[in-house]
């Protein structure tokens, strides 16, 4: 019975590879959004498989808030060098200095939302016509409505009520000059699929994803890592704890979880038993019920 039966990971892998190849075929200058997080690492791994033994035909683009975990940047640079890929970095700091965005003020200020502007500026500067993103539909309710090929108008805006129907494996990447596409090859993957696939393919991931000791502080229900960007406030009690991260983003809004999982097998077991979604520790999604939808409409990935 199994002879012509592909497992769920085989099927997801083949679907993503199909989408990556379709992106290369339908666009002139596509780029791959690479943050050094697990989803973008898996996407880059799939891209390498899709075009092997040739090089991956995409530039890598990192939109950098400047508020990074040093481990992420080290990992990013090593990863890109190993693949001989072209890395383009768009700095939020540059956008601030240019005056195209203004830094948020207030105690919970974050640069997360500012990334949209820097992304759009990078797209325009580099002339990218499509950006591959590691977004998954299981992450968040607005993302559940995303297409694989997501059309953006000349302002980078997503119009969720007027999306192109997407049937079978037939993707329509046609657009007018100045418009743009966001493409999500991992649309049908869940967090669990990502971990299982990383285990199966022995994909190297940043050490932040595994249990380690770190000074953390509890704020608004999240466990934030103490760093130059997150300074303990009065009344807060920073403490050394054994933690790991389920998602890696801007250091000011990515929460850690208490965990002893130090290998992929242990992480898989832990995720299976978890009662909280991975984005549950992201303060950026909790700003309002439609926080993600609103950011996406403005050009967020």
Partner 1 sequence: MTEDKNYLEMDLLRFTTAGSVDDGKSTLVGRLFYDTKSIFEDQLEAIERSSKQHGDENVNLALLTDGLRAEREQGITIDVAYRYFATPKRKFIIADTPGHIQYTRNMVTGASTANLALILVDARKGVIEQTKRHAFIADLLGIKHVAVCINKMDLVDYGQDPYDKVLKEFGDFASRLDNVTELTFIPISALKGDNVVERSEHMPWYKGSSLLYHLETVYVGSDANHVDARFPVQWVIRPHSDEHHDFRGFAGRVAGGVFKPGDEVTVLPSGFSTRIKKIFMAEKELEKAYNPLSVTVTLEDEIDVSRGDMLVKPNNQPKVDQNLDAMLCWFSSSKKLVAGSKYLLRHTTKDVQAIVTEVLYKVDVNTLHKVEDDHEFGMNDIGRVTLRVSQPLFFDTYRRNRNTGSFILVDSFTNETLAAGMMR
Name, in order, each residue with C-beta under 8 angstroms of 175's C-beta and a sequence gap of 6 or more: 129, 151, 181
Candidate ranges 30-38, 72-80, 162-170, 255-263; the one touching partner 1 (CB under 8 A): 162-170
Least distance (Å) between residue 22 CB and partner 1: 7
Q: Which long-range contacts (CB under 8 A, 24 or more apart) does 55-59 make?
A: 55/83, 55/84, 55/85, 56/32, 56/83, 56/85, 57/24, 57/30, 58/23, 58/24, 58/30, 58/31, 58/32, 58/85, 58/132, 59/29, 59/31, 59/32, 59/85, 59/86, 59/87, 59/88, 59/126, 59/128
Q: By CB under 8 A, which span of 103-111, 140-148, 206-214, 225-233 interacts with partner 1?
A: 140-148
Tell which one of 97, 204, 236, 289 touches partner 1 (CB under 8 A): 289
Among 29, 125, 174, 240, which residue interacts with partner 1 (rule: CB under 8 A)?
174
Taking residue 221's Cβ as centre, other Cβ atoms within 10 Å add up to 10
Q: Tell me which of 24, 73, 80, 203 binds partner 1, using CB under 8 A.
A: 24
Binder among 66, 160, 204, 260 for partner 1 (CB under 8 A): 160
Calpha distance 217→212 (Å, rounded): 15
Select from 238, 211, 234 the least CA-distant residue to 224.
238
At closest approach, how far in Å is the CB of 56 from partner 1?
11
The piece of 155-163, 205-213, 229-237, 254-262 that touches partner 1 (CB under 8 A) is: 155-163
Site for partner 1 contains 127 (CB under 8 A): no
**Cβ pair 67, 111 in contact under 8 A:** yes
Query: Which region, judged by CB under 8 A, interacts with partner 1, from 100-108, 186-194, 202-210, 222-230?
Result: 186-194
CA–CA gap between residue 67 and residue 81 (Å, rounded): 22
Query: What's the closest the beta carbon of residue 301 comes to partner 1, in angstroms?
Result: 16
Is position 28 an interface residue for partner 1 (rule: CB under 8 A)? Answer: no
Q: Which of residues 82-111 bind partner 1 (CB under 8 A)?
A: none
Q: Is 25 near partner 1 (CB under 8 A)?
A: yes
Q: Is 22 in the site for partner 1 (CB under 8 A)?
A: yes
- The region of 127-135, 174-182, 247-255, 256-264 touching partner 1 under the rule CB under 8 A is 174-182
Helix (H, G, I), strand (E, B) or coil at 292: helix
Contacts of 169 (CB under 8 A, 6+ apart): 18
Q: Which residues bind partner 1 (CB under 8 A)?
A: 1, 4-15, 17-18, 21-22, 24-25, 48-55, 137-138, 140-145, 160-161, 163-170, 172, 174-176, 187-188, 190, 192-193, 196, 200, 265, 268-269, 274-277, 280, 289-290, 293-294
């Amino acid at each position: 019975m199994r002879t012509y039966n592909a497992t769920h990971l085989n099927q997801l892998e083949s679907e993503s590879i199909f989408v990556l190849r379709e992106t290369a075929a339908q666009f002139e200058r596509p780029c791959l959004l690479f943050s050094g997080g697990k989803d973008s690492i898996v996407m880059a791994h799939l891209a390498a498989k899709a075009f092997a033994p040739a090089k991956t035909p995409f530039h890598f683009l990192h939109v950098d808030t400047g508020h990074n975990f040093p481990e992420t940047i080290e990992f990013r640079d090593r990863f890109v060098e190993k693949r001989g890929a072209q890395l383009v970095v768009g700095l939020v700091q540059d956008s601030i200095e240019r005056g195209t965005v203004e830094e948020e003020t207030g105690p919970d200020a974050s640069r997360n939302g500012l990334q949209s502007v820097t992304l759009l500026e990078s797209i325009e500067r580099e002339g990218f016509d499509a950006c591959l993103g590691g977004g998954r539909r299981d992450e968040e309710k607005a993302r559940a409505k995303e297409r694989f090929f997501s059309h953006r108008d000349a302002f980078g805006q997503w119009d969720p009520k007027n999306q192109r129907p997407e049937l079978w494996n037939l993707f329509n990447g046609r657009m007018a000059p100045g418009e743009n596409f966001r493409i999500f090859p991992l649309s049908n993957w869940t967090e669990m699929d990502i971990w299982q696939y990383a285990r199966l393919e022995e994909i190297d991931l940043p050490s932040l994803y595994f249990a380690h000791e770190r000074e953390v502080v509890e704020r608004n229900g999240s466990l934030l890592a103490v760093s130059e960007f997150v300074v303990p406030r009065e009344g807060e009690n920073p403490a050394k704890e054994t933690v790991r991260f389920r998602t890696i983003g801007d250091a000011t809004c990515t929460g850690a979880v208490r965990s002893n999982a130090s290998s992929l097998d242990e992480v898989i077991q832990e995720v299976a038993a978890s009662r909280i979604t991975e984005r549950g520790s992201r303060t950026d999604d909790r700003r309002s019920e439609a926080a993600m939808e609103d950011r996406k409409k403005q050009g967020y990935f």
